[in-house]
Chains A and B, each alone.
Chain A
Amino acid sequence: MVKPVPDVESFVYDYERNVLVRDGVHEVLNPEDATALAIALEIKKASPETVIETVTTAPRGVVPHLEDLVRRGVDRATLISDPWFVGSDTYVTSRILARAVEDIPHDVVFSGTHTTDGGTSHVPPQLAEASSIAQMSNILDIDIATLTKECATVDVDGEDAVLRFEIDLPAVLSFQYAPRRKLPYISYEDLNRDVGDRIRIVTNDDLGFDRAEVGLEGSLTQVARVEVKRLERKDTLFVRNDDAGIEAVYRFLMHKGFLPS
């Protein structure tokens, strides 16, 4: 399960106008989804008979992203896209995904734990609930050597401990961002490979939801308003990293009681 998201790192906050500048922001693959996909590709490398299919709900404009993933080693990509689905909350999105995933033969579903745009972390557990299977978030690692079609052993980043679980498959396994796990580069000869036949587009004609079940109408939550978080500017003292500056900081720390006077 993968999703292209706006690159939030390139948002800039304009303190004078108190607005978020989003001009020219491009889309990237959600970083945790990239980790999940990189792990899937590692598994495929170890067991070449593995078939990887990505599933995405998004507007059709993301097709070039999906083609890019196929050129990196994904076997097939399914894009779920329908004008009726626009505005769906996570409850509805998960139901749509669950219905689409039913039609895709699979042993396990990989995903990121959260996305950088919505960031709710709802969809993986809700997809699992809609499919009546187990789910685990914040996975740090999966033991590829012992992975079978029936069971996976994973390490999970808990509140105060790292927990190792055995999870019966099928299940939804949601990974944490791991920068050392990178998607492979596209080989030179694949750069312009035509992969159109590997992309499948699924619409509501295939899934058969009623109008009232999906989109804004079917959603159980509604965004009342969105505002930019106000950040207050302070009356700032600027100093340099020289003796006078260090004294200024030292004095400040002493005055405020952080150092014994």
Chain B
Amino acid sequence: MKRALVYLDPAAVTDSLDLVDVASRMYGPDGCAIYGLCVGASEEAGHGVVDHLIRVDDDRIARHDIVNITNCIEELQDEYRFDAILVPATTFGRMLAPRAAMRLHVGLVADVTAVRCREDRIELVRPAFSGRMLASIVNRGRVPVMMSVRQNVFTHEPRHTRETRIVDFVPQRVRNSGVRLVERQKKTEAIDIRGSDVLVAGGGGVLRHFGRLEALAEELHGMVAASRRVVDSGVAPRHIQVGQSGKTVSPRLYIALGISGSIQHVVGLKKAEYVISVNSNRHAPICSLSDIVVEGDAREFIERMVERIGRGGPVPPDSRDTIHNLRNDGGTA
């Protein structure tokens, strides 16, 4: 029986528990005992999902204390000899995993989005060049296999409830890490675009009118999202960014307004069921991924669409004919 340690980030416990799916893919659904490591809080969430819940409740170790959490992982590795250590690629997970890998002298693969087992070796797939390419990485012999895992890519759907044993772990190697939290300001916009069925996303083409996206999102009961260009310009907050350096989303409907669709953006569109794009350039990369391309000005589209939805009612029969004739005519209608 293999052993996998999953770090449960207190800021993203549910996402962390999805990493159990990664362990199942590597070792089979019943081939691996799951150890959850939980520092400071939220231990309830692991119940029934992990086999062993290792709790660290020590006043000297804050949840952001990467140095001492690394010390804990080192001690736990000495004791349990894990075959794999999985860390969610959260803000702090991405600081913890490299540090712990360095300490344990093992390789680390970042931001894993897929796992492939080939002839007895495990290949971990990650995006490179800002998501433009996929690299398959193998670990050279040493255990544990370590990785940080991109959030919202794997989903753990338990086949059965595990009997969870609680282990209260008292670390021996604690030192002053020299990092003190002095203030915590909760982000007011605690919305998560990943939970929305409909996303109305804006890019460079609507930079100056980004505020108008909200009206369309509201009509469709969706949320507003943004490309990196918009976020880097300071017009939209980073937590609504879609793409390689932002969030991976799987909405039913994605409306891309003034977004060219660089590959770094498109990799964030994991399984968008339908894509409608509005762009003045019909050769923009996003158009190839779209169900409908509206060729034209995105701002004007928003106004017209909001007005049309507001007016409501069925589609007049004559326009259905028009639409039928439009299909695959090369956009000249």
A interface list, Cβ under 8 A from B: 6, 8-9, 11, 13, 15, 20, 89-91, 94, 114, 116-126, 128-130, 133-138, 153, 156-168, 171, 177, 179-180, 219-229, 231-241, 243-254, 256, 258-259, 261
Chain A residues whose C-beta falls within 8 Å of the C-beta of B179 in the assembled complex: 134, 136, 165-168, 171
Chain B residues whose C-beta falls within 8 Å of the C-beta of A160 in the assembled complex: 11, 186-187, 190
Option from B178, B182, B309 in Cβ contact (under 8 Å) with A250:
B309
B interface list, Cβ under 8 A from A: 9, 11-12, 64, 66-67, 70, 90-92, 94-96, 98-99, 101-103, 105-111, 123, 126-140, 142, 177-187, 190, 198, 220, 232-234, 238, 244-245, 252-253, 262-264, 266-267, 274-276, 278, 282, 285, 287-297, 300-301, 304-305, 308-309, 314-316, 319-320, 322-323, 326-331, 333
Docked-complex contact A171 and B285, CB < 8 angstroms: no
Chain A residues whose C-beta falls within 8 Å of the C-beta of B131 in the assembled complex: 229
A165 to B64, CA, bound (A): 10
A168, closest chain B residue (CB): B178
A252, closest chain B residue (CB): B292
Chain B residues whose C-beta falls within 8 Å of the C-beta of A89 in the assembled complex: 107
Chain B residues whose C-beta falls within 8 Å of the C-beta of A134 in the assembled complex: 66-67, 177-179
Docked-complex contact A221 and B140, CB < 8 angstroms: yes
Chain A residues whose C-beta falls within 8 Å of the C-beta of B234 in the assembled complex: 179-180
A138 to B94, CA, bound (A): 10
* Sample of 4 further A-B pairs with CB below 8 A, known A158-B91, A165-B182, A247-B322: A135-B66, A171-B179, A222-B140, A240-B294
Chain B residues whose C-beta falls within 8 Å of the C-beta of A236 in the assembled complex: 287-288, 290-293
Given A94-B102, A137-B94, are A221 and B181 neighbors across the interface (CB < 8 Å)? no
The smallest beta-carbon distance between B109 and chain A, in angstroms, is 6
The smallest beta-carbon distance between B60 and chain A, in angstroms, is 15
A241, closest chain B residue (CB): B296
Most buried by B among A118, A179, A236: A236
Considering the complex of A and B, which 8 residue pairs feature the smallest CB-CB distances, nearest first?
A241-B296, A220-B107, A238-B331, A168-B178, A221-B107, A120-B110, A164-B183, A159-B11
A138 to B92, CA, bound (A): 9
Docked-complex contact B319 and A244, CB < 8 angstroms: yes
| Chain B contact residues: helix, strand, loop or mixed | mixed
Docked-complex contact B315 and A122, CB < 8 angstroms: no
Docked-complex contact A126 and B91, CB < 8 angstroms: no
Docked-complex contact B127 and A249, CB < 8 angstroms: no
Chain A residues whose C-beta falls within 8 Å of the C-beta of B66 in the assembled complex: 125, 134-135
Docked-complex contact A13 and B328, CB < 8 angstroms: no
A-B contact pairs, 10 of them (CB 8 A): A120-B111, A137-B95, A159-B91, A159-B92, A219-B140, A227-B133, A237-B328, A239-B293, A241-B297, A254-B314
The smallest beta-carbon distance between B117 and chain A, in angstroms, is 12
A137 to B66, CA, bound (A): 11
Docked-complex contact A220 and B128, CB < 8 angstroms: no
Given A219-B140, A220-B140, A234-B288, are A249 and B95 neighbors across the interface (CB < 8 Å)? no
A224 to B330, CA, bound (A): 41
A240 to B295, CA, bound (A): 5
